[in-house]
Amino acid sequence: MHFPLPLTAAIATAVTVCAVLAPTCGAGAQESAGAQAPAKAGAARSASEPARFDLASTAKVGEIHITELSGLAWDADEKLLYAISDAGYVFQFRPKLDGDAIVAIEPVRAAALTDSPSGGGKPGKGFNAEGLAVENAANGKSGDSELIISLEGKPPRVMRFSPAGEALGSLPVPSPADDASHYRKKGRGLESVAIHPTYGLITAPESPLLGQPEDKHTLYSDGRQWSFARHSPDSRLKGIEVLPDGKLVVLERNKGGSKKSRVASLRLLDLATCAQGGACDADLLTELPAGPDNFEGMTLIDPKHVLLVSDNSGQVTQDTVFVLITRP
């Protein structure tokens, strides 16, 4: 699939969603009781504006706040949207789309990421979850999905989890991204992860590793790596998504001209056309207008729609924003 330029999108009404307290479901898991605030009447929209849905900063599933979302993945078999948070929780949502607009993002369930079946509802130590992919998400089978999550910290880790948040094991981190001493500073760890049909696990740090060119981002898999020029001198690599034809979409966060302004850029990489040694071209697909939202998660809903989510940094004054990028 290739997104022709320019990309177009539509805008949906922002609504407030807050799930009420519900019984637990498994260790540390909580479900929405289904009580949702009604959506407001549809607003006038412009074809140049992205379709968006605002989730209130007070939104919860049970007692778990829906906040600081940093990774996003779509499970086509289960019709579920997964999101992970910096605090180490996994959330499940049911998105409702109407054409190119977002009608609702309904919270379903939340659970702590834990390495213990009786984790007491608290995330495991060091489970600073950043990147997310779902394995077995579109094989036509129900109940076999696994979450693949990159964890920022020392040591850099990629782990397998059940959708209920239980750790199933670790996956090897490709060298040299497996060595914490190669990272430039704290908070620039493994930010994204994807499962490619040819190359398997692909992951990347937020910023170039020590010893790598500072003007290029690098993706790592087992025995291979690919580099491409950063979209801006200080862009941060936030997400990787695999398209049906094996090409990659990467999400970068760029400075937007002021301290609290950011720009999200989506770019296309065709690994099959990269030069010997892994040098790749990255074509700009779309760029969102500068604003306060820090988009860190990305997933492909279907060949026509890419969904982004923002990390609100736990701020009560800032909502979590979902944006739908639509192919014309």
pLDDT digits (tens, 9 = 90+) for 86-104: 999 999 999 999 999 999 9
Among 68-82, 164-178, 184-198, 281-295, the minimum mean pLDDT is found in: 184-198
Is pLDDT at 4 greater than 90 in this prediction?
no
Is pLDDT at 8 greater than 50 in this prediction?
no
CB distance 2 to 247 below 8 Å: yes
How large is the average pLDDT for residues 73-94?
97
Exposed e or buried b per residue across 213-230, where buried means at least 16 C-beta atoms within 10 angstroms of its C-beta: eeeebbbbbeeebbbbeb
How large is the average pLDDT for residues 74-90?
97
Q: How far is CA 307 from CA 116, 117, 269, 296, in A?
A: 31, 31, 18, 11
Higher pLDDT among residues 31 and 33, named by residue? 31
Higher pLDDT among residues 279 and 10, named by residue? 279
How high is the pLDDT of residue 45? 44
Is pLDDT at 74 greater than 50 in this prediction?
yes
How large is the average pLDDT for residues 250-263?
92
The DSSP bridge pattern shows strands 101-112 and 30-31 to be: antiparallel
How high is the pLDDT of residue 47? 44
pLDDT tens digits, residue range 229-245?
A: 999 999 999 999 999 99
pLDDT tens digits, residue range 266-325?
A: 999 999 999 998 999 999 999 999 999 999 999 999 999 999 999 999 999 999 999 999
How large is the average pLDDT for residues 150-155?
90
Round to whole Å and give the CA distance between 34 and 243. Answer: 33
Instruction: Read off the DSSP letter of residue 24.
Output: B
Is pLDDT at 16 greater than 90 in this prediction?
no
How high is the pLDDT of residue 46? 46
Q: How far is CA 4 from CA 153, 268, 305, in A?
A: 37, 11, 13
How high is the pLDDT of residue 122? 85
pLDDT tens digits, residue range 197-225?
A: 999 999 999 999 999 999 999 999 999 99
Average pLDDT of the chain is 86
